[in-house]
Amino acid sequence: MKEHPDDVAGIYVLKIGGSVISEKGAERRARKEEIRRISEKIALALSTARAGKKLILVHGAGSYGHPQAKVYLKSRDAKDALITHESVKELNKMVISSLMECGVNAMPIHPLSAVVSKGLEIKYKIKEQIDMALKMGIIPVLHGDVIFDEKEGFRIISGDQLVVYIAKEFKAIKVGVGTDMDGVVNDNGAVIRKITPEDVEKMSIGGSAHVDVTGGMREKVYLLAKLASESNIPSILFNATKESNVYKFLVDETLFGTVISSS
């Protein structure tokens, strides 16, 4: 992935996986120390950023969304959809509060209130909300959620799907997806350093070891490869549990992980 000098301005899209900020094998259990650490690294990175460099932050639902969404997907009941939404909002509130305590102006944008889809076609006003936040010097913070859908009534939208949409709409210069792994690994457990869209068709990628209603690593790679192919926007999958990796991503230091690009 091409590294940019520290003074590059533009839109950065960063997603922090639910497995990083919550105990994904449990239910509604946050990793508050990790939320705080990541908030501090974001604050530090932004304090040194050139004017014009802007961040859009997305986080996964983890144990605040996947178990609840699994219940909804079985029942298709509006009550269970609401339980899922209220749960992910709880995690989002922790993230927002932590960022604010670290001196970062942040504002939640809840997909349920801003997104309507029609099957896989996403139709929403969320772009205008994000744009307004950025113009005000505020970091918009989005998350995986349940949303209204014209065909199904409700459906689940993942943080990864939001990342791809946002990166395209805002022509992001840099996209990072932080998980609890060093990147995409091969059958021998070694990190694959680079993947192109052509590689994806030939790869065998495992899913998540925990409850995951959005496809796990396989879906991440597929979506990011599509982003690279259709919009020529590269991304990097990296380990956000490692002390300084989020900071390195935001200040353009060399970062170990899996780069997904068009060539």
Task: Give the CA count within 13 Å in the CB-facing half-sphere of 103.
Answer: 8
Contacts of 258 (CB under 8 A, 6+ apart): 183, 184, 191, 192, 193, 194, 195, 236, 237, 238
Helical residues (DSSP H) of 102-185, grouped into ranges: 111-114, 126-135, 159-169
Q: Which amino acid is at 231?
A: S
Q: Please say whether the beta carbons of 258 and 20 come within 8 A.
A: no
Residue 106: phi and psi, rounded to 5, are -135, 150
Task: Give the pLDDT confidence of 220-250 residue by residue, as tens digits.
Answer: 999 999 999 999 999 999 999 999 999 999 9
Global pTM value: 0.90
Gyration radius (Cα) of the chain, Å: 17
* pLDDT of res. 1: 44
Task: Give the pLDDT confidence of 26-50 residue by residue, as tens digits.
Answer: 889 999 999 999 999 999 999 987 7
Q: How many helices (H) and strands (E) does the chain have?
A: 10, 12
Q: Sign of the C-alpha dihedral, residues 169, 262, 217, 76?
A: positive
What is the torsion angle, in degrees rounded to the nearest 10, for the CA atoms of residue 255, residue 47, residue 142 and residue 69?
60
Task: Give the pLDDT confidence of 156-182 residue by residue, as tens digits.
Answer: 999 999 999 999 999 999 999 999 999
Q: Please say whether the beta carbons of 217 and 179 come within 8 A.
A: yes
Task: Give the pLDDT confidence of 185-224 residue by residue, as tens digits.
Answer: 988 889 999 999 999 877 766 544 444 455 578 889 999 9
Band the pLDDT of 25: cuts 50, 70, 90.
confident
Band the pLDDT of 97: cuts 50, 70, 90.
very high
Query: What are the sequence ranges of the domains in the chain?
Result: 10-260
Encoding tokens for residue 222?
A: 């597929």
Contacts of 180 (CB under 8 A, 6+ apart): 17, 19, 20, 239, 240, 241
Task: Give the CA count within 13 Å in the CB-facing half-sphere of 101.
Answer: 12
- Structurally, at CATH architecture level, domain 10-260 sits in 3-Layer(aba) Sandwich (3.40)
Pairing of the two strands 53-59 and 153-157: unpaired
Q: What single string gives the DSSP state of each residue in 38-85?
A: HHHHHHHHHHTSPTTEEEEEEE--GGGTHHHHHHHHHH--HHHHHHHH
